[in-house]
Each structure stands twice: as C-alpha cells, then as structure tokens.
Structure 1
Amino acid sequence: MNIIDIIVFLIFTVGTIVFGYLFGRKKQSSDEFTRGNGKVPGWIVGLSIFASFCSSISFLGYCSSAFMGNWNAFVFTLSILPAGLLAMWYFVPFYRSLGSISAYSYFEKRFGRWARLYASVFYLFTQICRSGAILFLLAVPMNVLMGWNIPIVVTITGLGIVLYSQKGGLKSVIWTEALQGAILVGGALICLIVLYWGMPEGPEQAIKICLEHNKFSLGSFDGSLVESTFWVCLIYGMFTNLNNFAIDQSYTQRYCAAPSLKEARKSAFWGSLLTLPVNFILFLIGSGLFAFYYINPGDLPEGIKSDFVFPYFIIHEMPVGLVGLLIASIFCAGMSTVATSVTSSGTIILTDFYSHMFPNSSDERKVTVLRVASVAIGILGIGVALCFLLVDNALDAWWALSSICSGGVLGMFLLAYLCPKAKKNHVVPGVIVGVASLILIALQTKLTDWWDIPQFVHINLSIVISTLLIFLIGFLLVQLLNRRNEKQI
C-alpha cells in the first residue's frame, strides 16, 4: 500500500475517532450520554440512521453478494423505506411520548418485567453478533492490502471504536456517524465511476456482460420457502426493517435525540430514504466487479473468497490516493454501526438491568455503568468477530444470526401496540411457541440429516415465523378468553 494511501486512510479513520472522542471531553450526565440532551439536529440524526444501515456489512457484503450471485439481496433494501415511513408517522411519536429512553420499558408496562428482560436480552445478543460481523469485515481489506493479521486488526479497531463511543455517548456517536456516512457515499461514488468507466469499452460493456449472465436478477419468483427467492428476501426484509424501526433500541434512542417531533420524523424519513441510492450503487459495484474480472479472469487469484474480491480490486486497480479513501470508507461504514451498537447496548444494560437493581444510584454512577457496559459489549463483539473467520460469506451468516437473535420480539410489540386488551397470559404461550420455532429452524440442518428429510424453511424466515406465531397466538387468545369471560358474565 502506497505511503500516500496510508496517510489518507489514517487521516480519515483516526480523524473520525478523534472527532468522536472530543465530544467526551467535558463531564456528562446520563441524559446527555443516552440521548444527547435531545438537542441533535434531525438531519444529523437521519444521516446517522443511514450510516447504521450502510455498515461494512453493506459495503463489502452487498458487493460480495452481487459479484457472486445476483441482486436478490437488494430486495431487502426495497423494504427499508416503507418501514421508515411507518416509523415517521407512528413509532417516532410513540417513543418520544413513552417517558423512558429504553424501548423495552413498554413491554414491562403491558406484560410485566419478564417481557422487558426477554426483549432486552435478545437485543443484546443481536448487537453483539452485529458488532462481530462488522468488525470482521473491517479487518478483511487490511488483510488483503497489507497482509495484517485479522484478529489483531479486529482487536485494535474494536478497542478504538469503544474508546470514543464510551467517552462521548450518543451525541458523539451520532455526529461521528454523520461524518462517516458522508465519507462512505463519497468513496462508493468514486469507486463506481473508476470501475465502470475503466472498462475497455466503457460502462455499456459492463452492463452488457452482467445482463448476459443474469447478474441483475432479483431472484426467483417461485413459491419456495427454502431458497432465497424474491419473496423470501422481501418478506425477511419487511419484518427485519420493521423490527429495526419499531423496537431496535439504537433507532428508538435516536428518535429521542432530536429536539422536536418534526425533526425526529425528518430523521426517520431521510435515514431510510438515503439507503436506497447508496445500496443501489454498492450492488452496481458488485456487478461491475463480475464484469471486470470476466474480461480479466487471470487477474483474480484462484480460490479467493467473495468477501475479499472488492478489497483486492481496490488495492490492485484503483489509483494512488483513492485506495486509502476507499478503505477508509469501509472502515468508517463499519465503525459507525459498531459505535451505535455499543452505545445503545450500554443504555439497555443501565436502564433495564442496573437501574432496576440499584434505583437510587447517583447520576455519576450511572454514567460509569454506561461506559463500563459499552466496553464490555465491545469486547464481546471482538470475540464474535474472530468466530467469523470460520464462515464463507459474512452477509449470509449475519442475516441468519440476526433472524434467529430477533427472538420474535416484534410479534410481542405488535400484540401490545395493536391489541389494548392483551395481557401477560395472552402473550406467554405465543412466546414459548415462538422460541421453540427459532430453535427448530436453527437446528433444521441437523434434523434433516438425522431424519433424512428435506429442509423445510429458509433460516432467514425464522424472524417472520416467530413474530407471526407470537402475535397470532396472542391475538387469538385475547379473542377466545374475552368471549369466554363475556359469556360467564
């Protein structure tokens, strides 16, 4: 890697860490740490939401998916804007009026403390796995570019992110994410232009090759629930993105960081809208990589993993200076999302666990707990990242993990939100069945081997099935038990 690229890379990555760290120079209250005192401009919050969506999972994972297959994964992106619009009109005002920074305090009010803990635990599992996937994909380009050891890069990067996120809190994370999001967009646009206009016959050649090999396909439209068809990916995206905007602490917490309801709604809208064109660019890059190496097959090392192709192209084909910028873009994309996971998880540990056990703690002690919890989540994420060395495709592995770790909590929220009469005895049976379905789907590979039966459902649909089971069972119990009570009266 050229010295100029190293300098560019360090300026952007170290600069953003320092930028975030500076927000923590003065003494903070727990309110400022968890919601920035509710004074962050809506457009900045929107940029941070967008940056969370476009992590290194997107930057490398989507390019990898388009290079290796087609645009099936882009179907997931199509469901983001509808979820953002629902959030803008319904969820943003709901959480701003809730009276608690914790998204899961609502479950305690409706169903009891067990429900709040259930949702909180699954959220923490999801964020730890998410941080691990992102940290791993941050280390991949440095391994390709410099030959650096992936575990060492994961550890150093993870600790750097923890440093500024636990120091400055949510305000630091939001402003740093906005800056990192801008870097990501700039890097993606530059790479797209260099890749397509660098083809011997121009962009038309790349598009023609991709069309001939069906690289722009959105997937099969048949009714299979086992393969990643258009419908499977769309349904998975609808439930996952609704889960993000409706009950994900890292999103609901940012709704409360804006100074007004109007600004908060603006943040949900722009945060979801910006992901469409940026993800479109990332998929174009992945398809362009296929076209480039189709006409230059000898330039790509035999047996290279798909997650490594984009970094390999950057180091060998991009001009000096742009290499450092693009690698910085990947780093910034990942750092923003990990920082969000770390900060929001620390908030949940404080509000849903610590404050319940020690309700009379001083505000200074709460800030200490927030920082210690953030460090702990960051370290666990580093551990998970090392486990990703064992998988072939990080995007597929992350989607499966996120689906399983959802816990069907969205179903519990929809039951509480849409059925005012629902109580604890209505939701518990559904949760038991929903968790059982998650375990069954997670183990289906083993079960199909043991019993010599075909796979019965795609693992990404576990979030869909568990959510529907919890909601529908609870809804039916509400109707049946209420009718029985009315008859007895």
Structure 2
Amino acid sequence: MAVLDLFLILCYLLAMVGIGVYFSRKNKSSEQFTTASGSIPGWALGLSFYATFLSAITFLGDPGKSFGANWNPFVFSLSIPLAAIVATKWFVPFYRESGEISAYTHLEKRFGNWARTYAMVCFIMTQLARMGTIFYGIALTLNALTGIDMRLIILVAGLCIILYTVLGGMEAVIWTEVIQAVLKTLGAGMILYLITLQTPLSAIIKRAVQEDKFSLGTFDFNFQTSSFWVILGYGFFINLTNFGIDQNYIQRYHTAKNPRDAAKSIWLCVLYYVPVSFLFFFIGTALYSFYAENPALILELKQQVSIEKNIPLDALQASDYGDRVLPYFMKTQIPTGFLGLLIAALLSAGMSTMSSGMNSSATVFLKDIYLRYIDPEADAKKQFRLLLIATTCMGGLGIVFGISMIGVKSLLDVWWKLSGIFAGGMLGIFLLGFLAKKVRNFEAKIAAIIGLLLIALMSFKDNLPEALQIPLDSKMTVVVGTVSIVGIGVLIQKLRTK
C-alpha cells in the first residue's frame, strides 16, 4: 500500500481515539457511560442505529452474496420497515416508560430470574458472534490489501475500539457512529462510481437481467429453501429482536432526549439503511459484470482460492470467493488515496457495531449480573469502574472470537445462522411476557423448554437422523422458536384455566 493510503488510515484511527479522549472529560459516571445522560438528538441516534446495521457484514457480505448468487438476501432489508412499525408503536414507549436501562429486567418481573438470565446469556453470545464475524471481515480485507497477518489486524483494530469505547462511553460511541455512518455511505458510493467508470451501468444491468442476478428468490410458499418468504420472515423476527430485546438498541432508546426522538431515530435508520443496502447489493452485481467482461483480471484471486480450498479451478463457483471479491477489487483497481479512504470506510463499518456491542454488554454485566447476584449495594464509583473493566473484557473476547472465525466460507451465512440460534428463544420469551399478560412462570418455562428443543433440532439438523430432521430452511429457526414459545405458552395457560 502507498504511504498516502496508510497515512489516511492512521488519521482515521487516531480521530476515533481522539473522540474518545474528548468525551472522556464528561464520562465520569455509570449513567453517562451507559446512556449519555439522555442528551442525544434524534437525528444523531438515527445515524447511530444505521451505522450499527451497516456493519462489515453488510460491507463485505452483501456484495459477496449478490456476486456469488442473487439478491435474495436483500429481502432481509425489506423486512426492516415492518419491524420498525411494531417497535415505534409498542417497544419504544414500553422501555421509555419503564425507565429500566437493562432490556432484561422486565423478564424477571414477569417470569423470574431464569428468563432474565437466559436472555442475557443469549444477548452476550450474539454480541460475541457479531464481533467475531466483523473482526474477521475487516481482517480478511486488510490481509488481502497489505499481506499483514489477520490475527495481528484483529488485535490492533480491537485495541483501538476498546480504547475509545472505554474512554468516551456511550456518547463517544454514538458520535463516532455518526461520523462512521457518513464515511461508510460515501465509501459505497465511491466504489460503485469506480466500477461504472470501467463498466457502463447499462452493461451491468443487461448482464444481471440475462443471468437473473436481481432475483429475490422464489415467491412460492416453500419454507424448505431460501425463498422470498423465508428471508422476509427471518428478517422480520431478527429485526423484532433488534428493536425489542437487544440491549444494543434498548439502551440507546434511553440516550434520546425524549420518546418522540427515540421513535424518530428508528425511522431515520430505516430511511438510511434500506437504500444503502440496495447500493451494496448492486455493487456485488456490478463487480460480477465487471469481472465477467474482464476475466483475466480476477484469475489471480480464483487461483489463490482454488489452492486454499482445494477446489479445481474449472470447478470453482462465484460463491466460493464472493466475500473476497470486493477486497480484491480494492487492492487491484482503486487508485492511491481513494484506497486509504475506502479502507477507513470499511474499518468504520466494523468499529461502529463493535463499540456499541462492547458498551451494551458491559451494561448487561453490571445490571444483570453484578448488581443482581454479586453486590446489589455497589456504590456509583465501583459501578463505573466495573463498566470500564467489563467493556475491556468484552472487547478481548470479541478479538478471540474474531481469530477463531478465520477461514469461514461466507460471512453472511455464518452470522445469519448464529443470530437465528440465539434470537429465537430471546424474542419468544419477551413476546410471551409482553403480549400474553395472563401467562405466568410455569407456562413460560414449559414453552421455553419446548421452543429451545425445536431451535436445537433445527440448528443441528444436519447432524441428526433423517427422522428427527425438521424439513424447514435453517433461517426459519428464529421464526419457529419465537412462534412456538408464544403459542405453546398461551395454549398451556388456556388449558390450565379451563
């Protein structure tokens, strides 16, 4: 890489740490660290939510999928407005009125500490899976561009994120995400502009139409494959989890100045994310057309993947190297200066999600573990100190998970599978408590046990005898888990009251 590119990347990293240092002057209490003392305007919070959605998984995974297959995963983005309707009408008012920073206190009040503990553990595992996936995505790209060992990249990037998150707390997290949101959006536009300089837009669209690259999947009501309806259902329930019981989001509802700004921020997120998600999928399609017209330019990457995966070159499919196409294009086709800016955009795509994940996980540790089970009488000074330690530890675990994920085939597939496993039980128990007011602890426990059994059967069905396999696509895990827990809980309650 050119010195100019390295200089731009270094400036970006220093700027993020500088924001943490700036807000460290105010970051002196647990309230400031976790909720920025309720001082964030709605427009900034909306950009913060948008930056969390637009992670490195989107930056690399979406173009990788549309390059290797089609636009079927874009249906996930189309489901977000549906979840936003539910969130702004019911979830935001519920959490703002409760005054509880933890998303899981409500579950203990409804069903007991088992429900709170289960949801909390699922949330932390989801954050570790998310951080690991994003760390790997960043490392994959920078390794392709610089040749630096992926473990070292994950370690350095992780330490920078930990530093500014610990220094500045939630206020630093949100304002860095505002900057990162702008940078990521500009980066996506820049990439597409550079592709269309070499391949006309008309040629991209023509080839994509001819090869059905814009397909959103079959519209048949087929739930055994990745159909339009499977992805729509998966996306709706995952985004209900995001807006309804993910500490990442719930905590930031309390950073808004008022409930109206909190609800407004969700719709701003939708307004920003859906069209930019469209842009990233189109980038993958544009890259497919570009390399189809210039096959010699991608031969080096295909040869490399062929050797690494032990697949004959003539048997290699586009899906085998989809996640690596955008980094390869950046390495070989982006001019000096632009490359540094694009790498900064990619880093921002990872940093935004991980910094908020570290902060919210530390909050969960304090509120749901330490103050609940260890020292309920801890003073303000001790609570603040514990938040700093927990944030650092969570960042360290994220680094370990990132290193462990090196070598996975598809970022998006791995993330979707893991999030489906953890989300189904969380959302099901929350909705059961939120919607079914007459259901009590006993019914909820039975429903949760049966729901979790179904989630386990679907998650590991490839390792089970055919007789035990549920004939549904694995993305239906979150749908089946959620619906079964709510439905069984209500059914048992009605049977007991007869």
TM-score > 0.5 by shorter chain:
yes
Matched, 1:248 2:263: no
Give distance in 1, aligned partners of 2:108 and 2:212.
50
- Residue 435 of structure 1: aligned partner: 452
Q: Equivalent residue of 2:72, what SS?
A: coil
CA positional deviation for 1:453: 8.3
Give distance in 2, aligned partners of 1:479 and 1:362.
45
Task: Return the letter of the residue paired with 2:459.
Answer: A
CA positional deviation for 1:198: 2.3
- Residue 39 of structure 2: aligned partner: 39
Give distance in 1, aligned partners of 2:489 and 2:178.
40
CA positional deviation for 1:113: 1.4
Instruction: Show CA shifts across 1:278-327 (max 9, x none).
Output: 10110010100000000011111215422111011012112221111111
Task: Return the letter of the residue paired with 2:74.
Answer: F
Task: Return the letter of the residue paired with 2:407.
Answer: L
Q: Equivalent residue of 1:390, what SS?
A: coil
Give the percent of matched residue pairs that are identical in Structure 1 and Structure 2: 39
Give distance in 1, aligned partners of 2:83 and 2:12.
32
CA positional deviation for 1:225: 2.4
The change in CA–CA distance for 1:127 and 1:27 in structure 2 (over 3 A counts) is: closer
What TM-score comes out, normalization by structure 1 length? 0.95
Task: Return the letter of the residue paired with 1:116.
Answer: R
Contact kept, 8 Å, 1:88 with 1:268, in 2: the verdict is: yes
Give distance in 2, aligned partners of 1:205 and 1:109.
59
Matched, 1:352 2:368: yes
Q: Equivalent residue of 1:100, what SS?
A: coil
Instruction: Show CA shifts across 1:203-244 (max 9, x none).
Output: 101111111111111112233323211111111001101111
Give distance in 1, aligned partners of 2:475 and 2:154.
26
Q: Equivalent residue of 2:216, what SS?
A: coil
Give distance in 2, aligned partners of 1:149 and 1:34.
34
- Residue 309 of structure 1: aligned partner: 325
Q: How does 1:463-474 map to 2 (within 5 A)?
A: 463-474=478-489
Q: Equivalent residue of 2:302, what SS?
A: coil
Contact kept, 8 Å, 2:108 with 2:114, in 1: the verdict is: yes
Contact kept, 8 Å, 2:458 with 2:469, in 1: the verdict is: no
Give distance in 2, aligned partners of 1:13 and 1:86.
37
Find the partner of 2:422 among 401, 405, 424: 405
Task: Return the letter of the residue paired with 1:424.
Answer: N
Give distance in 2, aligned partners of 1:407 and 1:159.
32
Task: Return the letter of the residue paired with 2:64.
Answer: S
CA positional deviation for 1:407: 4.5
Give distance in 2, aligned partners of 1:45 and 1:313.
33
CA positional deviation for 1:61: 0.5
Matched, 1:325 2:341: yes
Instruction: Show CA shifts across 1:351-397 (max 9, x none).
Output: 00101121111111101111111111111111111222131111101
Give distance in 2, aligned partners of 1:416 and 1:437.
20
Find the partner of 1:211 among 204, 209, 212: 209
Give distance in 2, aligned partners of 1:289 and 1:408.
38
- Residue 369 of structure 1: aligned partner: 386
Contact kept, 8 Å, 2:63 with 2:285, in 1: the verdict is: yes
- Residue 112 of structure 1: aligned partner: 112
Matched, 1:6 2:6: yes
CA positional deviation for 1:251: 0.5
Unaligned residue ranges in structure 1 (runs of 5+): 485-489
- Residue 487 of structure 1: aligned partner: none
- Residue 225 of structure 1: aligned partner: 223
Contact kept, 8 Å, 1:138 with 1:334, in 2: the verdict is: yes
Matched, 1:270 2:268: yes
Which deviates the most, 155-164 or 18-27? 18-27
Give distance in 2, aligned partners of 1:26 and 1:269.
29
Q: Equivalent residue of 1:121, what SS?
A: helix
CA positional deviation for 1:27: 4.8
Give distance in 2, aligned partners of 1:35 and 1:459.
36
Aligned-pair RMSD on alpha carbons? 1.5
Q: Equivalent residue of 1:102, what SS?
A: coil
Q: How does 1:59-138 map to 2 (within 5 A)?
A: 59-138=59-138
Matched, 1:422 2:420: no
Contact kept, 8 Å, 1:245 with 1:251, in 2: the verdict is: yes
Matched, 1:460 2:460: no
CA positional deviation for 1:465: 0.8
Give distance in 2, aligned partners of 1:6 and 1:67.
28
Give distance in 2, aligned partners of 1:18 and 1:336.
15
Task: Return the letter of the residue paired with 1:468.
Answer: V
Contact kept, 8 Å, 2:56 with 2:350, in 1: the verdict is: yes
Q: Equivalent residue of 1:462, what SS?
A: helix
- Residue 49 of structure 2: aligned partner: 49
Give distance in 2, aligned partners of 1:337 and 1:361.
29
CA positional deviation for 1:268: 1.3
Give distance in 1, aligned partners of 2:396 and 2:384.
19
- Residue 190 of structure 1: aligned partner: 190
Find the partner of 1:477 among 483, 486, 492: 492
Unaligned residue ranges in structure 2 (runs of 5+): 306-320
Give distance in 2, aligned partners of 1:118 and 1:135.
26
The change in CA–CA distance for 1:89 and 1:454 in structure 2 (over 3 A counts) is: closer
Give distance in 2, aligned partners of 1:149 and 1:25.
36
Matched, 1:144 2:161: no
- Residue 22 of structure 1: aligned partner: 22
Instruction: Show CA shifts across 1:41-88 (max 9, x none).
Output: 111111000000000000001010111010000000001122123212
Task: Return the letter of the residue paired with 2:371.
Answer: S
Give distance in 1, aligned partners of 2:365 and 2:62.
32
Q: Equivalent residue of 2:464, what SS?
A: helix
Matched, 1:385 2:385: no
Give distance in 1, aligned partners of 2:452 and 2:467.
24
